[in-house]
Amino acid sequence: MEKKELIEKINTLRKEKNAIILAHYYQESDIQDIADFVGDSLALAQWAAKTTADIIVLCGVHFMGETAKILSPQKRVFIPDSMASCSLAESCPADEFEKFTQAYPGYTVISYVNTTAAVKALTDIVVTSTNAKQIVDSLPEDEKIIFGPDKNLGDYINKLTGRNMLLWEGACHVHEQFSLEKILELKKEYPQALLLAHPECRKYILEIADHVGSTSSIIAFARNSGYKQFIVATESGILHQMQKDNPDKEFIPAPPEDSTCACNDCFYMKMNTLEKLYLCLKNERPEIFVEEEVRLKAVKPIERMLEISA
Ligand code: 13P
Ligand code: SF4
């Protein structure tokens, strides 16, 4: 089907079904352009919690759909491709994480939002990269904390807050592959360019970055900066929004170690396409379900996060 026709059909279906389309900044450009709202993980959770739509189509990865369903159990939640997982969420199986937490009784368990509902159900407070520092800072200084699953974000937050949180050894396959050498070469080629990095990147990338932040923070920084060139160390889908916001600025994707792969693309995020979005609205599947017992446990740490970051 032609793109124009797909867009018309999506628009008709979303009206007929009172559906809202929420998209993450890593989605392909066409999906971002058709979405009712584009945002980072925190903003998507906040939207899912407050929308009056009957149906939420979450154009992102599975844990984002689950978070929406956990917060809005009375709504039907769909994602365009049920296989759109997340390497970070996969790096933290719930049974192993449970053993880890049981080995440290008395610790507060903080989980990054990039986790399954089952891991959230084992958690005291959920965080996103937007509010992780704020939430850790809100806890008493002597609180003993486990942080999972992203070791790079955890290490970065330890550095920012002076804490010594115990870290789970998880990581994201996209953010771990940026090449320090190639970024340093690019900085020579573009001496005026600022390096913007997501905190899921390795420590040595974060140490040379001019700004470290979540997707929304990177976008806001570029918008408000007087600089004209930026090297961007996060998933490449974000460049669409940055370029749209700032037609007069130049955004250069940070290169991966392996120059033969498109590793700046999160292949999970890119499993969603306009066509799958259309089919999802039409056929009302794949649908996200979360067992009620798990949901009741998982909703508490997410709500705690939303209260602190309100
Ligand atoms: P944000 O919370 O910054 O949107 O990041 C989500 C994510 O999956 C990063 O890889
Ligand atoms: Fe998960 Fe990494 Fe993809 Fe983000 S970029 S959704 S952390 S695999």
CA-based diameter of the chain, in Å?
59
Look over the chain and give the mean of its residue pLDDT values, rounded to a whole number.
96
Does the pLDDT of residue 310 top 80, yes or no?
Answer: no
Per-residue confidence at 261, pLDDT binned at 50, 70, 90? confident
Per-residue confidence at 148, pLDDT binned at 50, 70, 90? very high
What pLDDT shows up at residue 123?
98
Total-model pTM: 0.96
Strands annotated E in 113-257: 125-127, 145-148, 166-167, 194-197, 211-212, 229-233, 250-253
Task: Please state the rounded mean pLDDT for residues 230-245.
Answer: 97
Does the pLDDT of residue 285 top 80, yes or no?
Answer: yes
Per-residue confidence at 194, pLDDT binned at 50, 70, 90? very high
* Cβ burial 73-98 (10 Å sphere, 16+ → b, else e): eebbbbbbbbebbbbbbbbbebeebe
**Contact, 229 vs 193, CB < 8 A?**
yes
**Contact, 116 vs 86, CB < 8 A?**
no
**Cα 129 to middle of ligand 1, angstroms:** 7
Cβ–Cβ contacts within 10 Å for residue 3, how many?
A: 10
**Cα 19 to middle of ligand 1, angstroms:** 24
Does the pLDDT of residue 102 top 90, yes or no?
Answer: yes
What pLDDT shows up at residue 152?
98
What pLDDT shows up at residue 27?
98
What pLDDT shows up at residue 263?
77
- Among residues 231, 224, 242, which one has the least CA distance to residue 201? 231
Per-residue confidence at 1, pLDDT binned at 50, 70, 90? confident
Q: How far is CA 243 from CA 32, 173, 222, 240, 251, in A?
A: 13, 25, 10, 5, 7
Please count the residues of the chain: 310
Residue with tokens 């008709």, as numbered in its chain: 12
Protein residues with CB under 6 Å of any ligand 1 atom: 40-41, 114, 128-129, 172, 198, 200, 214-215
How do residues 126-145 score in pLDDT, each as one tens digit? Answer: 999 999 999 999 999 999 99
As a whole number of angstroms, the distance between CA 219 and CA 26 comes to 12
What pLDDT shows up at residue 264?
85
- Grouping H, G, I as helix, E, B as strand and the rest as coil, residue 233 is strand
* Domains of the chain, first to last: 3-83+269-289 (3.40.50.10800), 88-172+296-308 (3.40.50.10800), 175-253 (3.40.50.10800)
**Cα 85 to middle of ligand 1, angstroms:** 13
Does the pLDDT of residue 8 top 80, yes or no?
Answer: yes
Does the pLDDT of residue 202 top 90, yes or no?
Answer: yes
Per-residue confidence at 77, pLDDT binned at 50, 70, 90? very high
Per-residue confidence at 122, pLDDT binned at 50, 70, 90? very high
What pLDDT shows up at residue 252?
96
Task: Please state the rounded mean pLDDT for residues 201-206.
Answer: 98
**Which DSSP symbol is given to 308?**
H
What pLDDT shows up at residue 181?
96
Task: Please state the rounded mean pLDDT for residues 63-77.
Answer: 96
Q: How far is CA 89 from CA 63, 70, 184, in A?
A: 8, 16, 30
Task: Please state the rounded mean pLDDT for residues 288-300.
Answer: 98
As a whole number of angstroms, the distance between CA 309 and CA 135 comes to 8
How do residues 152-183 score in pLDDT, each as one tens digit? Answer: 999 999 999 999 999 999 999 999 999 999 99
User: Residue 61 CA: which ligand 2 atom is closest?
Assistant: 6
Instruction: Name the closest-CA residue to atom 1, ligand 2.
Output: 86
Does the pLDDT of residue 115 top 90, yes or no?
Answer: yes
As a whole number of angstroms, the distance between CA 215 and CA 41 comes to 9
Instruction: Name the closest-CA residue to atom 3, ligand 2.
Output: 266
* Percent with pLDDT over 90 in the chain: 95
Q: Is 172 close to ligand 2, i.e. is its CB under 6 Å away?
A: yes
- The two structure tokens encoding residue 111: 């989980």
Q: Is 219 close to ligand 2, i.e. is its CB under 6 Å away?
A: no
Q: How far is CA 241 from CA 182, 186, 236, in A?
A: 24, 22, 10
Provide CB contacts within 8 A for 303, sequence distance 6+: 71
